[in-house]
Structure 1
Amino acid sequence: MLRQALNIPNLLSLLRLAGVPVFLWLLLGPREDGWALALLVFSALTDWLDGKLARWLNQMSRLGQLLDPAADRLYIAATLVAFLVRGIVPWWVVAPLVLRELVVGVCLVVLRRHGFLPPDVTYAGKAATFVLMYAFPLLLLTQGGSAVAAVARPFAYAFTAWGCVLYLWSGALYVIQTISAVRGAARTPVM
């Protein structure tokens, strides 16, 4: 059991989780945006790689199914908070995304209370995470008055807008899945 849990994809997810406090420190402590950007890109690459390796090496596990989205959500939440504190994004961008996380968290509690596992990750959820993982490094690149910042700015804003819409849509899909599951369980007669 432990051997199955300590596979390469899960170790990559644990490495991503360990990078979150370092990422926050880089952004909020010494404001080393270059290193924070590198860590964010590394996180996105290992996010992609752990899924590919899990399928390729046939090392999919329940722990991996929990770790991967947890790492994604933690990076997204940490990035949003750090960007808000630094003034990189306004509160009205952060608030709906944080609210989405709280709503999804409530859905998970409701599902567990009714004996359900968390719903499968939807394509919209994967796409939202993918787009936001592009938006965040681009938003970091927009800091300052350099030519790189000027070029990155429209792309950063476009990816941020599209990622936010997809992220909220995927949250709505989780709510719909939760309601359907709970209603279906309520209609099923107990024998």
Structure 2
Amino acid sequence: MPAKSGDSSRIVTIPNAISAVRLLFVPVFAILLARHDDAWAFVVLALSGASDWLDGVLARRLHQVSELGKILDPAADRLFILVTLVALAWRDVVPWWLVAAIVLRDVLMGGLLFPLAHRGYGPLPVHFVGKAGTFALLYALPLLLLAQRPDAWGTAALVLGWAFAWWGIGLYWLAGALYATQARRLLGATGAT
């Protein structure tokens, strides 16, 4: 998509730095989870979810919305969700079908990037439904990790975690349908089928 008025080509911004740090914490989280250091893994995962919200707020308030940020932030979200899901499935915290449901949607959305780029379009603007689905998943994952506790906190986290997970999956796929419709319109307008 063409840059909106006020979008910047700057690379070094506070929101981009937050997204970059979030990317750096992906392997840290994976190592913590592999070592069964669940308390620290939970902290890293919770901070990642909070930082995802923070970088968007700061980008708008500081007028630091950038083209790089429009790519870096969703990429950090997808990578963190993917690594977290695979690590949690590997630990038998979540079922593998959950990983497949999220990965399949992202693969289908990734397939839209090539025809859009071929027609001169950048990534589609983030839709509220997509952001809500991502937030729901980013809340679900630490709760499902916390659900491993054998006490009332674990039970409450299990219920809340799965509630967020189901909402996240539904919103994630709904957003995928909205993005596919938007891409179809753009591609149809430029003569692609």
Question: Which of 53, 74, 78 is equivalent to 1:69?
Answer: 74
Matches within 5 A, 1:148-187: 148-186=153-191
- The letter for the 1-side match of 2:103 is V
Matches within 5 A, 1:106-185: 106-185=111-190
Mind listing any 5+ residue stretches in structure 1 that lack a counterpart? none
Aligned residues: 184
Question: Which of 1, 7, 12 is equivalent to 1:6?
Answer: 12
The alpha-carbon deviation at position 4 of structure 1 amounts to: 3.0
- Runs of 4+ residues deviating >3 angstroms: none
| C-alpha distance in structure 2 between counterparts of 1:157 and 1:14, whole Å | 29
- Of the structure 1 ranges 123-132 and 84-93, higher mean CA displacement relative to structure 2 is found in 84-93
The alpha-carbon deviation at position 44 of structure 1 amounts to: 1.1
The alpha-carbon deviation at position 76 of structure 1 amounts to: 0.9
| C-alpha distance in structure 2 between counterparts of 1:93 and 1:61, whole Å | 32
Provide Cα deviations, 1:31-90, integer angstroms capped at 9, x if missing partner. Answer: 111111100111111111111111111111111111111111111111111111111111
2:6 matched to which residue of 1?
none
Q: Secondary structure at 1:186's aligned position in 2?
A: coil
- Of the structure 1 ranges 130-139 and 140-149, higher mean CA displacement relative to structure 2 is found in 140-149
Query: Is the Cα–Cα contact under 8 Å of residues 147 and 158 in structure 2 kept in the other structure?
Result: yes
2:23 matched to which residue of 1?
17
| C-alpha distance in structure 2 between counterparts of 1:44 and 1:136, whole Å | 10
| C-alpha distance in structure 2 between counterparts of 1:165 and 1:110, whole Å | 26
Provide Cα deviations, 1:1-21, integer angstroms capped at 9, x if missing partner. Answer: xx9311111100100010011
- Of the structure 1 ranges 144-153 and 36-45, higher mean CA displacement relative to structure 2 is found in 144-153
Q: TM-score, normalised by structure 1?
A: 0.92
Q: TM-score, normalised by structure 2?
A: 0.91
| C-alpha distance in structure 2 between counterparts of 1:185 and 1:4, whole Å | 29
1:39 matched to which residue of 2?
44
The alpha-carbon deviation at position 144 of structure 1 amounts to: 3.5
The alpha-carbon deviation at position 181 of structure 1 amounts to: 1.1
Structure that is richer in helix per residue: 1
Mind listing any 5+ residue stretches in structure 2 that lack a counterpart? 1-8
- The letter for the 2-side match of 1:93 is L
Whether 2:54 is the aligned partner of 1:49: answer yes
* RMSD over aligned Cα atoms: 1.4
| C-alpha distance in structure 1 between counterparts of 2:75 and 2:188, whole Å | 27
Whether 2:93 is the aligned partner of 1:85: answer no
Q: Secondary structure at 2:116's aligned position in 1?
A: helix
| C-alpha distance in structure 1 between counterparts of 2:147 and 2:56, whole Å | 30
Q: Once the two structures are aligned, what percentage of the paired residues are identical?
A: 47
